[in-house]
Amino acid sequence: MSVDSKSNQFTHSNVERRASIVYGSVGKQGLFVPKDFLHLGAQQEDSSEQNEHEPLLGLPNNQSTKPRRKSSVARELLQQERDILINNQIPCDETDDNNIALAFEDAVINKKIKKATPLNELVALVKSSIPLVMTFLLQNSLSTVSVFSVGHLGAAELAAVSMGAMTANISGYATIQGVSTALDTLCPQAFGAKKYHLVGEYMQKCIALNFVIIAPVLVIWVFFGGEILKHIIPDEDTAVFAGEYLFYLCPGIPAYIMFECGKRFLQAQGIYHISTIVLLFAAPCNLVMNLIFVKKFGFIGAPIAVSINYWIMFLGLLFSTLYISRKSDTDTPMKCWSSLSVRRAFLGWRNLVSLAIPGWIMLEAEFLAFEILTFMASYLGTRKLAAQAVGLTIASLTYQVPFAIGIASSTRIANYLGAGLGESAKTTTKVAICFGFVVSLLNFFTLYIFQMPIAELFTKDPKVIEIIHDIMWLVALMQISDSMNANSAGCLRGQGQTKIGGIVNLVSYYVIGIPMSIYLSFFSPWKGSLDGLWIGTTTALTIIAVVQTYCSLHVDFDYLCDQARKRTSESLLF
C-alpha cells in the first residue's frame, strides 16, 4: 500500500521493524519512536548514498512480501498497535496480526489517530526515565564523591573543591553540555525521520565543535588557572587548591566530551541502558579511586580520580556500543553510524550551531548563576562556603531526577515531531509537565524531612552542619521550581525552542535573581547569611519554570512539525 507524497507521507511495510512508541523494549526499557508505528521504507539504502533533500518521511518502495517478524519486539509492537486502535475505537480483527497492521496504517493515513493517550505516554516516560535517573545520579555522583571524600580533610579543602568545581562548571562542563544539547533536538528528529546516518554525523560534528571550543579553556586551566583564581578568591590557600583541582582535571575532559555526545547518540535511538550499565561500573570505581587517591595523595587525589574515571566511562560506552552491534544484526545502535570522517566533522555546522548557541546560553546562564552564588558565599566565610558547597551538591543530586525526565521527554517529543505527529508531541509535553510537578513535590518532602542526616553525611564540622541545617528548608523549597525548570527545558529542547530557554534564563537570573541575592546577602537587614543567596535563586527559577512551561504548552505543534521536516531535509554541508 502506498500513498501520494503530496497528500500523505505515511506508508506501511513489513520490514525494518523496531520497538513501539508506547512501552520500553525488552531488556532496554528504552524509548521507542513514532516511526515505529509508520513502518516506512521496505529496504534501507546505504546511508552514504541517501539524499539529504528527500522528504522527511521517505517515500515507500514496493510493498515487501516478507512476513512480519515474530521477535519479542515485533510482538510487543503489534500489541501496542492493537491497544492504540482499541483506545481510538477503530474497528479491527484483534486476532489477526496482518489485519491489525493494515488497520493501523489506514488509521494513520486517514488521520483517525489524533494523538497518543496520556496514560500510555506516562507509562512510556516512567519506563524511559528510570534508567536515565540511574545514569544521571551515577554520573553526578562522580563530583559528589569528591566533595564527600575531600570534605573530611577539613573546611578549607571542602571550600577549595567547591571553588575548583565551580570554575570547571562555568568554563568547561556548562560549555560542553550546552553545546551538546543541540543533539537532543537534531539526533532524535533525524532518527524519527528515518535518516539514520544523520544521527551519527551530527554526533561527530558536535564532538568536533566541542573540541574546538574547549581547547583554549584547557590551556588556561593548565597554565593560568591558579593565578587567575588568586585574584578572585579571597583566601589564597583555597585558590591554590582550586587551581590544582583544574590542572589534574584537564586530562579527562576530552573523554568527557566524547562520553556526553556518545550518550546522546544512543538516547536519540531510545537506548538508555548502555550508559547506565557503564556508570554502574564506573561509579564504584570512582568511589574506590577517590578514597585511595585522597588518602595517598591528599587533595589532588580527587580530581585525578575523576579524570581517570572519565576515560573509563568513555571507553566503557564505546566498548558496550560496539559489542552490542556485533551481537545482533537488527535494531543496533550502530545502524546510525555510517563511517568516521574527520573532514566532514568540521564542516556543515549551521544547524548544529543554531541550536548549540541558545542551548549553551541556557545552561551557561544557569551554571554561572549558581556558581556566582558560590563565589559570593566565599566572602561570607570559609564555613559558609563549605555549607554552600554541600547545599549545591544536594540540590544537584535531586535535580538529576527531573532532568532525566526532561531528557526522556525531549527525545520523545523530538521523535514525534520528526515523524510529523504534532498532536502526540503535544500530549507528551502535557504529561511530562505534570509528571515533573509530582516529582518536584517528592524532592521537596525528601529534603525537608531528612535535613540533618543528609548534612551529617558530608562533614563532621558541627558549625558547618548548623549552617547547612539553616538553609535546608530553602534548598528543599527550591526543588519545586527547579524540577519544573528541568522538565520544561527538556520539552523546549525536544521542540527545538532552545532560544526561549536561553532568553528567559538570562533575564531571570541576571536581572532579577542574582541582584536580589546580592542585596539580601550583603546589604539588607539579613546580610551575612546564606538565606539571601537561595531566596534570589528560587525566585529566578520560579520565573523560568512558569515562562518555559507556558511556552512549551502553548506552541503551534503543526509549525514545529514543519520546522523538523525542514531541519532534517537540509544539507549538512552549508
Residue pair 130/393 in contact (Cβ under 8 Å)? The answer is no
pLDDT higher than 60, residue 235: yes
The helix, strand and coil proportions of the chain, stated in percent and rounded to the nearest 5, come to 75, 0, 25
Residue spans of alpha helices (H) in 15-68: none
Question: What is the helix (H) or strand (E) element at residue 327, kind and residue range?
Answer: helix 301-327
Residue pair 142/286 in contact (Cβ under 8 Å)? The answer is yes
Q: What is the pLDDT of residue 31?
A: 28
Give 366-385 pLDDT, tens digit per residue: 777 777 777 788 788 878 88
Which range, 22-31, 256-265, 266-275, has the best average confidence (pLDDT)? 256-265
Q: What is the pLDDT of residue 276?
A: 79
Q: What is the pLDDT of residue 73?
A: 36
Give 42-87 pLDDT, tens digit per residue: 333 333 333 333 333 333 333 333 333 333 334 444 555 666 566 6
531-534 LR contacts (CB < 8 Å, sep 24+) = 531/470, 531/471, 531/474, 533/373, 533/376, 533/377, 533/388, 534/373, 534/391, 534/471, 534/474, 534/475, 534/478
Q: Report how far residue 160's alpha carbon sits from residue 150's, in angstroms, rounded to the nearest whole number.
A: 9
Residue pair 486/500 in contact (Cβ under 8 Å)? The answer is no
Residue found under cell 489524533? 114
Q: Report how far residue 19's alpha carbon sits from residue 525's, in angstroms, rounded to the nearest whole number.
A: 60
| pTM of the predicted model over 0.75 | no
Q: Report how far residue 39's alpha carbon sits from residue 197's, in angstroms, rounded to the nearest whole number.
A: 18
Give 282-331 pLDDT, tens digit per residue: 888 888 898 888 888 888 888 899 899 999 999 999 988 887 655 544 45
Give 459-492 pLDDT, tens digit per residue: 777 888 888 888 889 989 999 999 999 889 889 8
pLDDT higher than 70, residue 573: no
Q: What is the pLDDT of residue 213?
A: 93
Residue pair 448/136 in contact (Cβ under 8 Å)? The answer is no
Q: Report how far residue 160's alpha carbon sits from residue 388's, in angstroms, rounded to the nearest whole number.
A: 12
Q: Report how far residue 244's alpha carbon sits from residue 114's, in angstroms, rounded to the nearest whole number.
A: 57
Residue pair 569/510 in contact (Cβ under 8 Å)? The answer is no
* Dihedral (Cα; 513, 514, 517, 523), 10-degree rounding: -130
Q: What is the pLDDT of residue 36?
A: 32
Of 535 and 411, the structure prediction assigns the larger pLDDT to 535
Of 12 and 260, the structure prediction assigns the larger pLDDT to 260
Q: Report how far residue 343's alpha carbon sits from residue 393's, in angstroms, rounded to the nearest whole number.
A: 40
